[in-house]
A and B are shown apart, each in its own frame.
Chain A
Amino acid sequence: MKAFTQLTALVAPLDRANVDTDAIIPKQFLKSIRRAGFGPYLFDEWRYLDRGEPEMDCSNRPLNPDFVLNQPQYQGAQILLTRENFGCGSSREHAPWALEDYGFRAIIAPSFADIFFNNCFKNGVLPIVLSAELVESLFQEISAGYQLSIDLDAQTITTPSGRLIGFNVDENRRHRLLNGLDDIGLTLQQAEKIKAYETERAQRAPWLFKDA
């Protein structure tokens, strides 16, 4: 998992409440054999005018010009600003996979659905909860090229005008995300122990350590 420490990036505003995971990644894409590669199908039904199918080449599909992510000033956005209860509905982990694959590293909303919120942390995406008033004020401020700076260690967001907004992430999650620690990452912190085990075991069972 990618670590998340600081991020200064373009913000895309998705001005809708209750965005569910089926909207984030429609169900036909769950047939995929992959965990990566969902980015082109993120918000598929909103983003394109035709019906998306797994493995479809999206480069020539008709885009919905009204959808925010299709507008030129939001290309390259890594922060999604949205409304309450983001990520509700099915528990599919494909939703954070798709957001991350598209390029989003942080999502700011007044509230998130519980399972989705957890899934984000497993996949290197930082969900930030701010009050509805603060979210509203950010929606008001957004204009072309609007960037925010997020500092996870300090738990602060800095707006282009220099305004400092604090947020809170629980200690354990913050630690894992700051260090990019997924379960594999945590096990790899024991790498020396694994190596020592291998060395010792190779004495007792050398046939298991002769790599052809």
Chain B
Amino acid sequence: MAGKTLYDKLWDDHVVHREDDGSCLIYIDRQLLHEVTSPQAFDGLRMAGRQPWRVSRNLAVADHNVPTDHRDQGIADPVSRLQVETLDKNCAEFAITEFDMSDIRQGIVHVVGPEQGATLPGMTVVCGDSHTSTHGASAALAFGIGTSEVEHALATQCLVQKKAKNMLIKVNGQVGPGVTAKDIVLAIIGKIGTAGGTGYTIEFAGEAIRALSMEGRMTVCNMAIEAGARAGLVAVDDTTIDYYRGRPYAPQGDDWNMAVRYWQRLHSDSDAQFDKIVTLNAAEIKPQVTWGTSPEMVVAVDACVPDPEQEADPVKREGMQRALQYMGLQANQKITDIRVDRVFIGSCTNSRIEDLRQAAAVIEGHHKADSVKQVLIVPGSGLVKQQAEAEGLDKIFIAAGFEWREPGCSMCLAMNADRLEAGEHCASTSNRNFEGRQGYGGRTHLVSPAMAAAAAIAGHFVNVAELNPGASS
């Protein structure tokens, strides 16, 4: 019999019950909650007179609606405020641990989970948010769910699921200077498309993935969902284990040793069978910039905006034309000629300490271009912010004319006050460049933190690999 994939192992370890039709009751080790998708789930529990099955397996944090400045003044928008207050109340009523807005540990749910060791290797992790795939970086089976499933997981610690197929994406070799985890995952999405991973759990492997820090692996897994896969995975290695040692929610003492022994088997067997294998050569990946309104509309920074006339598929061609129209770009225009109006460095994709270091390294001693209206730096959590300040990164950002903000989702989805004006181009380290995502009519270009910072200084996209050969992944 063939060996098992990492996904097979994680799945098999969590099956509580298997139905004849193949659907399984899967045990959930950790649920993360935030204010937007949980209120109706809590109401559902109350109406049915139910209690959480294992209250300690839930952890809540408000992130989507929180303001990133003037925290002391609370939330101005009443609808946003009510959502956040509702989370506070629900957590108090059901005795669920919550990092509220005043807690130093507050931040974006997918930054907070690993940072606290609340999401660990080998766990099943769910959250009412599609970017839950982030947590797969530690070989946890992590995926986003809807509100009724949030309630289901609260009430039963289980979900009814059908198993996905196995995909392996191997990134062989080493990336060149200035090329980061973000560029790797954008290149992957550019290659397989936004539906390429639909129906699969993707395991990311190969030398270039192994060489990434945990934070880089989180960036890659975060965007598995943008490739259509609900979950992304990276096998456990020493990098993983070192990352979790000493985290507040990680096991201690004998438990730690036992956990490490268990985690060390969390990799695909050498003879495991995958339903699909995709290979990339890391050395060929250059810093990436999206030019359109889907993450798959991406090219290398030294390339030009593609020409729809060159596209044979009429459906694709029309999609490209629509995207160019929305983005206000011309076919064959050089990417480095695209001017940026605002820059956003943040989101669950790129708001961790290494991302901020990456950005700071590029801008030190420079100032943002006058034509750039605003550069927002939004750390992923209060602890990331604290760390950055301890390293003096905030001073570098402020000296460069950047705004140093409080943690939250911010301009990733513009649910709080941070947003683009119609027609503005934004170099953004977030994960979705959909129409209107960062504000009505806003034009998002997805890039790495280093690329975003470089664009802030130049006022247009530049190839960070040439600008600063020292900055690497």
Contacts and interface: CB of A to CB of B under 8 A. Distances in A.
Contacts of B264: none
B206 to A, nearest CB: 29
A33 B48 contact: no
A133 B139 CA distance: 63
Interface in B143-200: 148, 151-152, 155-158, 160
A161 B151 CA distance: 44
Contacts of A198: 27, 157
A187 interface: yes
A34 B46 CA distance: 11
Contacts of B251: 207, 210
B43 interface: yes
Interface in B1-28: 13, 16-17, 25, 27
Contacts of A1: 48
Interface in B24-81: 25, 27, 29, 39-40, 43-44, 46-48, 50, 53-54, 56, 79
Interface string B432-467: 000000000000000000000000000000000000
Nearest to B155: A184
Interface string A182-212: 1110011010011001100100111110111
B47 A35 contact: yes
B259 interface: yes
Nearest to B151: A184
Contact of B54 (A31, A36, A193, A211): A211
B152 A183 contact: yes
B47 A36 contact: yes
Interface residues of B, number: 37
Contact of A194 (B40, B44, B123, B158): B158
A211 B50 CA distance: 20
Contacts of A211: 54, 56
B54 A33 contact: no
B27 A201 contact: yes
A207 B259 CA distance: 7
A194 B43 contact: no
Contact of A33 (B46, B53, B83, B156): B83
A4 B240 CA distance: 51
Nearest to A122: B148
A50 interface: no
A198 B54 CA distance: 11
A208 B83 CA distance: 30
B313 interface: no
Given A34-B40, A35-B43, A184-B151, A205 B262 contact: yes
Contacts of A204: 262
B468 interface: no
Contacts, number: 80
A55 interface: yes
Contact of B122 (A35, A197, A205): A205
B156 A188 contact: yes
A187 B86 CA distance: 27
B255 interface: yes
B157 A194 contact: yes
B152 A187 contact: yes
B272 interface: no
Interface in A13-60: 31, 33-37, 55
**How would you classify the secondary structure of chain B's contact residues: helix, strand, loop or mixed?**
helix
A55 B85 CA distance: 14
Given A184-B50, A206-B255, A190 B86 contact: no
Contact of A55 (B82, B151, B152, B158): B82
B156 A184 contact: yes
B17 A193 contact: yes
Contacts of A197: 16, 27
A31 B157 contact: no
A187 B158 contact: yes
B156 to A, nearest CB: 4
B123 A208 contact: yes
Contacts of B13: 201
Nearest to B49: A2
Contacts of B17: 190, 193
Contacts of B122: 205
B86 A33 contact: yes
Contact of B255 (A33, A36, A193, A207): A207
A208 B123 CA distance: 9
A190 B152 contact: no
Nearest to A207: B251
Nearest to B154: A184
A34 B42 CA distance: 9
Nearest to A211: B56
A190 B40 contact: no
B258 interface: yes
Contacts of B79: 31
A36 B46 contact: yes
B160 A183 contact: yes
A17 to B, nearest CB: 30
Contacts of A212: 56
Nearest to B39: A33
Contacts of A35: 39-40, 43-44, 47
A187 B156 contact: yes
Contacts of B82: 33, 55
Interface in A49-91: 55
A34 B43 contact: yes
B461 to A, nearest CB: 38
12 contacts: A33-B86, A34-B39, A34-B43, A36-B43, A36-B47, A55-B82, A184-B50, A194-B25, A194-B27, A198-B27, A198-B157, A207-B251
8 A-B pairs with the lowest CB-CB distances in the bound complex, closest first: A207-B251, A33-B39, A211-B56, A35-B40, A207-B255, A35-B43, A36-B43, A187-B156
